[in-house]
């Protein structure tokens, strides 16, 4: 069994231009590094050996990698370091293998061996001033405009598109710019029209508490598009959007015990249409990443199954869900907006909860067109375009969603 490397082997975004390296020398299991600007730090020798990207060791970016952690034993050590070529470091290992590294990349890692974690920008009812709005024509034709909207989605988990034509083809055309459309049991692009024989709550005229969609799936939908075709202006149906990360942080600050329950114990969500489907998932309502940061939310009061939590936990869990429900129903935490025809809201279904006020279906028909986009696809589109438009943002670790 190998030891865990001291530093995560993960590309780091070099925030500022790092100084060139003045010296490197072996120091026990580590390599001491001195930079030209006087700063100094260390790298793990095993990490350094494993990071070699020569033809023999392989290429991390494309995944054609041949050197494995098992090849990088504790006894490994470097015979010599050459830092005399500007921008380059050459290391000769004890077995004669030669590795070459980018000096700036190594210099960036001595102080910050872990990748930068992206800090989401939290919002409440104040979102209206900050919400990113992007024109359909620009987003479908211009990668820079698409990138700006992807950045807004990364920051706030939500963006608005304007001037979206009412055709089905337009919904798929713009949604496809963000990543692969995920086909669900309702199809690829589906229509939400208020109707008397409603199968899902979205087709009724009733009010809906803000929720995430389909928390009963192991992997809930990633990003959701709501494209307004017809809206019942004056008849209700105002969209209520809530930043799940914001309310989670409020819980962490105000009721830490309840916050902890939602991050530690599973809650079961389910959905059954008899004889057709029976989805069920037990998962954390609030997902945390390895550093304890909120990384995803799943919550829909209408999909809660009778819980199987042990007797000594069940009341606490219900109180935690009640507190969460109070917070997401508080107008101070809601961005409220009456969608207009031609507008589309795009939002991260594993961060942003969506709901709406009731409306009167006898006054107006409400018709939204919706589709789901894979979450990985959206973040992949962001990173790929960041390589072109904002290279320093491409490698930050983004919040990774409702990951149990």
Distance, CA of 366 to chain centre? 30
- Closest residue to Fe ion using C-beta atoms: 213
> Taking the complex as a whole, how short is the minimal distance between the CB of residue 189 and Fe ion, in angstroms?
16
Map the footprint of Fe ion across residues 244-273, applying CB under 5 A.
none
**What element of type H or E holds 81?**
strand 78-82
> Taking the complex as a whole, how short is the minimal distance between the CB of residue 24 and Fe ion, in angstroms?
55
- Interacting span for Fe ion (CB under 5 A) from 182-190, 212-220, 233-241, 265-273: 212-220
- Interacting span for Fe ion (CB under 5 A) from 81-89, 168-176, 205-213, 269-277: 205-213
Nearer to Fe ion, 213 or 323 (CB): 213
Q: Tell me if 343 contacts Fe ion by CB under 5 A.
A: no
> Taking the complex as a whole, how short is the minimal distance between the CB of residue 220 and Fe ion, in angstroms?
11
- Interacting span for Fe ion (CB under 5 A) from 22-30, 32-40, 208-216, 376-384: 208-216
> Taking the complex as a whole, how short is the minimal distance between the CB of residue 302 and Fe ion, in angstroms?
9
> Taking the complex as a whole, how short is the minimal distance between the CB of residue 318 and Fe ion, in angstroms?
22
The answer to whether residues 31 and 43 touch, using CB atoms and an 8 Å cutoff, is: yes
Nearer to Fe ion, 213 or 393 (CB): 213
**What element of type H or E holds 369?**
strand 367-373
- Interacting span for Fe ion (CB under 5 A) from 85-93, 147-155, 209-217, 288-296: 209-217
Nearer to Fe ion, 259 or 347 (CB): 347
Map the footprint of Fe ion across residues 213-232, applying CB under 5 A.
213
Nearer to Fe ion, 148 or 231 (CB): 231
Distance, CA of 370 to chain centre? 20
Nearer to Fe ion, 252 or 271 (CB): 271
Nearer to Fe ion, 164 or 345 (CB): 345
How far is the CA of 287 from the CAs of 214, 308, 350, in angstroms?
Answer: 16, 19, 10
> Taking the complex as a whole, how short is the minimal distance between the CB of residue 274 and Fe ion, in angstroms?
22
> Taking the complex as a whole, how short is the minimal distance between the CB of residue 211 and Fe ion, in angstroms?
6
* Nearest of 396, 391, 386, 348 to residue 144 by alpha carbon: 386
How far is the CA of 101 from the CAs of 86, 88, 173, 223, 395, in angstroms?
Answer: 11, 6, 42, 38, 18
- Interacting span for Fe ion (CB under 5 A) from 211-219, 327-335, 368-376, 382-390: 211-219
Nearer to Fe ion, 265 or 347 (CB): 347
> Taking the complex as a whole, how short is the minimal distance between the CB of residue 259 and Fe ion, in angstroms?
24
| Structure token digits, residue 192 | 């939400």
- Interacting span for Fe ion (CB under 5 A) from 90-98, 112-120, 207-215, 230-238: 207-215
> Taking the complex as a whole, how short is the minimal distance between the CB of residue 82 and Fe ion, in angstroms?
59
User: Dihedral of CA 92/98/104/105: which sign?
Assistant: negative
Q: Which residues, including other chains, have CB under 8 Å from residue 398's CB and lie 6 or more apart? A: 118, 154, 379, 382
The answer to whether residues 352 and 164 touch, using CB atoms and an 8 Å cutoff, is: no
How far is the CA of 214 from the CAs of 92, 168, 210, 285, 334, in angstroms?
Answer: 54, 23, 13, 12, 21
Kindly determine how many residues on this chain lie close enough to bind Fe ion according to the rule CB under 5 A. 1
Q: What are phi and psi of 245, to 5 degrees?
A: -70, -35
The answer to whether residues 192 and 370 touch, using CB atoms and an 8 Å cutoff, is: yes
Q: CA 343 to CA 226: how far, in whole Å?
A: 8
| Structure token digits, residue 76 | 């490994």
Nearer to Fe ion, 213 or 343 (CB): 213
Owner of token pair 């370091």: 81
Nearer to Fe ion, 213 or 348 (CB): 213
* Strand runs labelled E in 267-343: 267-273, 277-283, 286-288, 294-297, 334-337
Site of interaction with Fe ion (CB under 5 A)? 213
């Amino acid at each position: 069994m190998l030891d865990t490397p001291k530093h995560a082997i993960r590309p780091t975004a070099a925030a500022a231009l790092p100084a060139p390296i003045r010296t490197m020398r072996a120091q026990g299991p580590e390599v001491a590094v001195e930079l030209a600007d006087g700063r100094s730090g260390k790298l793990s020798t095993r990490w350094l050996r494993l990071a070699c990207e020569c033809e023999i060791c392989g290429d991390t970016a494309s995944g054609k990698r041949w050197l494995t952690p098992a090849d990088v034993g504790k006894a490994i050590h470097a015979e010599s370091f050459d830092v005399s070529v500007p921008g380059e470091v050459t290391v000769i290992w004890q077995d004669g293998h030669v590795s070459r590294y980018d000096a700036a990349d190594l210099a960036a890692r001595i102080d910050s061996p872990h990748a930068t974690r992206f800090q989401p920008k939290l919002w409440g009812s104040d979102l209206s001033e900050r919400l990113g709005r992007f024109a359909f024509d620009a987003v479908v034709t211009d990668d820079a405009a698409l990138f700006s909207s992807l950045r807004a989605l990364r920051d706030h988990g939500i963006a608005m598109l304007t001037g979206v034509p009412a055709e089905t083809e337009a919904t798929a055309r713009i949604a496809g710019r963000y990543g692969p459309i995920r086909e669900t049991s309702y199809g690829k692009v589906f229509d939400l029209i208020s109707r008397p024989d409603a199968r899902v709550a979205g087709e009724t005229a009733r009010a809906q508490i803000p929720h995430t969609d389909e928390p009963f799936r192991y992997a809930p939908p990633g990003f959701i598009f709501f494209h307004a075709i017809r809206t019942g202006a004056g008849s209700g149906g105002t969209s209520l959007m809530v930043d799940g990360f914001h309310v989670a942080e409020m819980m962490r600050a105000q009721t830490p015990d309840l916050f902890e329950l939602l991050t530690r114990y599973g809650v079961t969500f389910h959905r059954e249409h008899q004889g057709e489907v029976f989805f069920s998932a037990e998962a954390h309502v609030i997902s945390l990443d390895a550093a304890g940061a909120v990384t995803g939310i799943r919550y829909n009061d209408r999909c809660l199954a009778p819980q199987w939590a042990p007797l000594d936990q069940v009341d606490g869990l219900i109180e935690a869900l009640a507190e969460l429900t109070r917070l997401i129903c508080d107008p101070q935490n809601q961005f409220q907006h009456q969608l207009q025809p031609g507008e589309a809201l795009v939002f991260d279904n594993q961060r942003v909860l969506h709901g709406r006020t009731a409306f009167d279906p006898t006054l107006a028909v409400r018709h939204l067109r919706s589709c789901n986009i894979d979450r990985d696809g959206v973040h992949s589109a962001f990173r790929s375009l960041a390589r072109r438009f904002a290279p320093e943002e491409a490698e930050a670790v983004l919040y990774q969603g409702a990951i149990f």
